Chains A and B, each alone.
Chain A
């Protein structure tokens, strides 16, 4: 396959960025999208051009590091995959592919396609945990039976990889899907219920301070989420938030 790549280039957070076009030849349909980017970078280095910076690590769809906005979609045209699991067989020979970083005010560009998502970490610092010491002196793991459906739903929420595709896909750059997944995981488990009210208030407060937008229920986040995190989590978080606010 021969392709034209239109890629966002930006030297650092404060620099002015722009789109650059690079042709690339002999791309195998079996390559992953990032392997195609590796080939491009190898070519750029050999030509003396600065390689394109992008975030990536595990390359098996679980670390949440890769974060490209491809042809107008977070993680590209395939469903339920991250950029690293997207394969070139999803594109056509001769196609022009537009590659941008995940854009949001709360995700400043670090360089080219890499963005700073530490806002997500700070939201978790505010309450994304159960306040239990790690001494191991807790009760036996089977002391509290947990309804299998609740456990499964908590697990489904907990599979969020924190990549930020939800924010990048949202016209308001809202982080509701991400935050609600964490809030839901704990709200569904007896261990997390104890401090559920404080948690949801603190996490939402931090989310607002980070400059994420509001949720207007368009549902784009759910469509683009590589892990299929459900909108139901947002509804659950809203209920939790309302209940917690009412308690004062």
Chain B
């Protein structure tokens, strides 16, 4: 075990980034033209990085597995993006955003990175508005804000429930400008299959054209992985069907440490599972908790009545409802952080108060908000505030203008009108805070290989606050990586183009081809999805919202056995020279089958509860998570050694200079 050097610059926290930028090496505009950079993934982080690198003058090759960069899963982010603009004058500041993010992450993120994130957050909003991103505005024409979980200010900028879409289209438009200029070459429907190292440095990738099956070699002076999170390891998650860990896992196999794999975010407000056929879960944005109140019935008879269809939730009187978040956490109420809200929902459902047939759902109720807004509108318009029908109608209009698309999504999936009936929701896997370990410059343990956005681990600790993922993706891509990468590339101005004829490319290509051959000739009896679903069940049951040593040990053994069975019995139809989705999926699931075991090992090793990681052995008498700062104030970074069980742990000690490490309380 060694201590990792995170290369945090010296000096006071608030000056680190400015000083660092002023002192790192630069590459001249003339030399940038001689340097090639590969960016894998075109979500917020990848698209913004590709656009900015190209704009600076580098030659960029961007890869995405979708048919267009605009479809990367950042597009689905709903609620908003944080920035310390303090437009509302409610006491926000860079420090407060920094502090909230560290506290929200349960004191397991890197202080210097988080401060930098808070510093550049305001630039992101300026940048996006300049690009023509249509954020929500008030009648005065200025930008509107809403509030998100775990904070006491309104700092979230939004575009209805489609903020991710608008931000990604903004970054995509910046890419389009550079594609038009020929500075970005875009490879749609391509998948990164392996990283190529020459003399210990990242010098290119092997990619597969998903339409023709062609294996391609691409050389570059640096490789940036922006391939998102690995929530799909659970099979059911709010991720897109194609979201995968493969790019991150390939660089892990080539020497990049993988950090805190067990830090997963289970989002409290998702549409509950309806049956075995389910292929994915749909999120209902956290912004709904601004106006929705979460509850279950107080009495078991009412629960039974509802499950049997004899009672409707609207039949229950106020005093028969248990608004359990408001009861347990009066200060933050329905806006506690996601991990806290998820565990509280699980606690009520485990106690038997779940309100759907499976017993795994709670209510998210908008009636109070509809009435409040309705009265306000009636007052503004000089109408009768006591006319309940009118008030309801006016209130519903306001709610529709704020969350219309979310309500429509809910209605289409569940076949129930959420303006009339409370929504039913349950926690689901949403985001992974863990990821590839990077230093302050966002470089992985492999020289010249970088990881940005959700693919890395650094900014969210053990739990991410709402509306911070979009902020981090764009911060990394627009404002951090394009500058830090110059420091490394300044040594490459005389290198010249990277040849793909090197034996290292031959070897990597052979490994890729051998694995494809193995899948296609295996002719086993089970489909790829068969294994993915089994893996997902192990993960959800034993590595989900609550974890214990026994379950985690079982998970490790079961995943290993499942992986061995996969290689013996998986059936991948078709050939390697056509559009073959099953083949692509087989590769992705094979990587999940390795990561799953490391995930369980990491969770087993971390014998404390922190953020989204809840160990049953480490809780207070009231059932709240109990951190162990004495023994676990570090990042677990795992080094690949073949079998996941043999991975070697390296620690990055977390030092807090500016912040006093305290018990996280939202009461």
A53 contacts across to B, CB distance below 8 A: 579, 581
Cβ of B350 within 8 Å of any chain A Cβ, yes or no, is no
B55 contacts across to A, CB distance below 8 A: 133-135
In the complex, which residue of chain B has the Cβ closest to the Cβ of A49?
B573
A81 touches B75 (CB 8 A): no
Cβ of A61 within 8 Å of any chain B Cβ, yes or no, is yes
Cβ of B68 within 8 Å of any chain A Cβ, yes or no, is yes
Known contacts A34-B279, A81-B412, A128-B176; A192 and B66 CB within 8 A of each other: no
B140 contacts across to A, CB distance below 8 A: 145
A45 touches B527 (CB 8 A): yes
Cβ of B601 within 8 Å of any chain A Cβ, yes or no, is no
Cα(A117)–Cα(B120), bound, Å: 36
B137 touches A85 (CB 8 A): no
A155 touches B134 (CB 8 A): yes
Determine how close the nearest CB of chain B comes to the CB of A86; give it in whole angstroms: 8
Q: Which of A118-126, A171-179, A216-224, A239-247 lies at the interface with chain B?
A: A118-126
A191 touches B67 (CB 8 A): no
Cβ of A20 within 8 Å of any chain B Cβ, yes or no, is no
Cβ of B127 within 8 Å of any chain A Cβ, yes or no, is yes
Interface size range on A against B: 35 or more
Cβ of B582 within 8 Å of any chain A Cβ, yes or no, is yes
Cα(A147)–Cα(B478), bound, Å: 28
Q: Which of A24-32, A91-99, A207-215, A230-238 lies at the interface with chain B?
A: A24-32
Cβ of B546 within 8 Å of any chain A Cβ, yes or no, is no
Cβ of B131 within 8 Å of any chain A Cβ, yes or no, is yes
**Which residues from 1 to 37 on chain A have a C-beta closer than 8 Å to any C-beta of chain B?**
11-12, 28, 30-32, 34-36
B275 touches A28 (CB 8 A): yes
Q: Which of B120, B240, B578 contacts A11 (CB 8 A)?
A: B578
Q: Which of B160-168, B317-325, B617-625, B645-653 lies at the interface with chain A?
A: B160-168
Q: Which of B141, B173, B277, B573 contacts A130 (CB 8 A)?
A: B173
Cα(A162)–Cα(B339), bound, Å: 35
B143 touches A141 (CB 8 A): yes
Cα(A124)–Cα(B120), bound, Å: 28
In the complex, which residue of chain B has the Cβ closest to the Cβ of A133?
B55
Determine how close the nearest CB of chain B comes to the CB of A18; give it in whole angstroms: 17
In the complex, which residue of chain A has the Cβ closest to the Cβ of B159?
A155
Cβ of B636 within 8 Å of any chain A Cβ, yes or no, is no
A31 contacts across to B, CB distance below 8 A: 275, 277
A78 contacts across to B, CB distance below 8 A: 412
A134 contacts across to B, CB distance below 8 A: 48, 51-52, 55, 127, 131, 174, 478
> Interface residues of A: mostly helix, strand, loop or mixed?
loop
Cβ of B561 within 8 Å of any chain A Cβ, yes or no, is no
Top 3 nearest A-B pairs (CB, nearest first) are A145-B141, A136-B123, A129-B173
B73 touches A58 (CB 8 A): yes
A89 touches B415 (CB 8 A): yes
Cβ of B643 within 8 Å of any chain A Cβ, yes or no, is no
A50 touches B573 (CB 8 A): yes
Cβ of B138 within 8 Å of any chain A Cβ, yes or no, is yes
**Which residues from 135 to 149 on chain B have a C-beta closer than 8 Å to any C-beta of chain A?**
135-143
A132 touches B130 (CB 8 A): yes
Q: Which of A89, A125, A148 contacts B141 (CB 8 A)?
A: A148
Cα(A22)–Cα(B294), bound, Å: 45
Sample (19) of A-B pairs whose CB atoms are under 8 Å apart: A11-B578, A38-B529, A39-B277, A57-B66, A58-B73, A61-B412, A64-B70, A85-B413, A111-B579, A116-B67, A124-B173, A125-B179, A127-B180, A136-B120, A138-B129, A141-B129, A151-B137, A162-B70, A191-B132
B409 touches A60 (CB 8 A): yes
Cβ of B124 within 8 Å of any chain A Cβ, yes or no, is yes
Cβ of A74 within 8 Å of any chain B Cβ, yes or no, is no
Cβ of B361 within 8 Å of any chain A Cβ, yes or no, is no
A118 touches B188 (CB 8 A): yes
Determine how close the nearest CB of chain B comes to the CB of A115; give it in whole angstroms: 9
Cβ of B91 within 8 Å of any chain A Cβ, yes or no, is no
B274 contacts across to A, CB distance below 8 A: 30
A35 touches B279 (CB 8 A): yes
Cβ of B496 within 8 Å of any chain A Cβ, yes or no, is no
Cα(A130)–Cα(B66), bound, Å: 24
B136 contacts across to A, CB distance below 8 A: 151, 155
B176 contacts across to A, CB distance below 8 A: 121, 124-125, 128-129
In the complex, which residue of chain B has the Cβ closest to the Cβ of A88?
B277
B342 contacts across to A, CB distance below 8 A: none
Q: A128-B173, A129-B173, A132-B130 are in contact. List 19 more A-B contacts (CB 8 A).
A: A12-B579, A38-B277, A45-B582, A57-B71, A57-B240, A58-B71, A58-B75, A59-B241, A62-B165, A65-B66, A117-B67, A120-B68, A121-B176, A125-B176, A125-B180, A131-B177, A140-B126, A154-B134, A158-B166
B409 contacts across to A, CB distance below 8 A: 60-61, 85
In the complex, which residue of chain A has the Cβ closest to the Cβ of B165?
A62
Determine how close the nearest CB of chain A comes to the CB of B310; give it in whole angstroms: 22
A189 touches B277 (CB 8 A): no
Determine how close the nearest CB of chain A comes to the CB of B260; give it in whole angstroms: 26
Determine how close the nearest CB of chain B comes to the CB of A68; give it in whole angstroms: 14
Cα(A99)–Cα(B421), bound, Å: 35
Cβ of A87 within 8 Å of any chain B Cβ, yes or no, is yes
Determine how close the nearest CB of chain A comes to the CB of B56; give it in whole angstroms: 9
Cα(A142)–Cα(B141), bound, Å: 8
In the complex, which residue of chain B has the Cβ closest to the Cβ of A155?
B134
Cβ of B278 within 8 Å of any chain A Cβ, yes or no, is yes
B76 contacts across to A, CB distance below 8 A: 58, 60, 62-63
Cα(A117)–Cα(B188), bound, Å: 11
User: Interface centre among B67, B143, B279, B574, by most A CB within 10 Å?
Assistant: B67
Q: Which of B70, B125, B278 contacts A141 (CB 8 A)?
A: B125
Known contacts A62-B162, A78-B412; A55 and B67 CB within 8 A of each other: yes
Cβ of A248 within 8 Å of any chain B Cβ, yes or no, is no
B67 touches A118 (CB 8 A): yes
Cβ of B571 within 8 Å of any chain A Cβ, yes or no, is yes
Cβ of A70 within 8 Å of any chain B Cβ, yes or no, is no
Cβ of A114 within 8 Å of any chain B Cβ, yes or no, is yes
Known contacts A64-B71, A142-B143; A189 and B179 CB within 8 A of each other: no
User: Interface centre among B174, B211, B275, B277, by most A CB within 10 Å?
Assistant: B277
Cα(A148)–Cα(B177), bound, Å: 28
**Which residues from 165 to 202 on chain A have a C-beta closer than 8 Å to any C-beta of chain B?**
185-186, 189, 191-192
Determine how close the nearest CB of chain A comes to the CB of B580; give it in whole angstroms: 8
B71 touches A63 (CB 8 A): yes
Chain A 76-113 per-residue mask, 1 if CB under 8 angstroms from chain B, else 0: 00101100010101000000000000000000001100
B124 contacts across to A, CB distance below 8 A: 136
B138 contacts across to A, CB distance below 8 A: 148
Cα(A11)–Cα(B134), bound, Å: 41
A59 contacts across to B, CB distance below 8 A: 240-241, 279-280, 282
User: Interface centre among A60, A89, A118, A145, by most B CB within 10 Å?
Assistant: A60
In the complex, which residue of chain B has the Cβ closest to the Cβ of A206?
B180
B67 touches A45 (CB 8 A): no
B578 touches A121 (CB 8 A): no
In the complex, which residue of chain A has the Cβ closest to the Cβ of B164?
A62
Determine how close the nearest CB of chain B comes to the CB of A243; give it in whole angstroms: 19
B437 contacts across to A, CB distance below 8 A: none
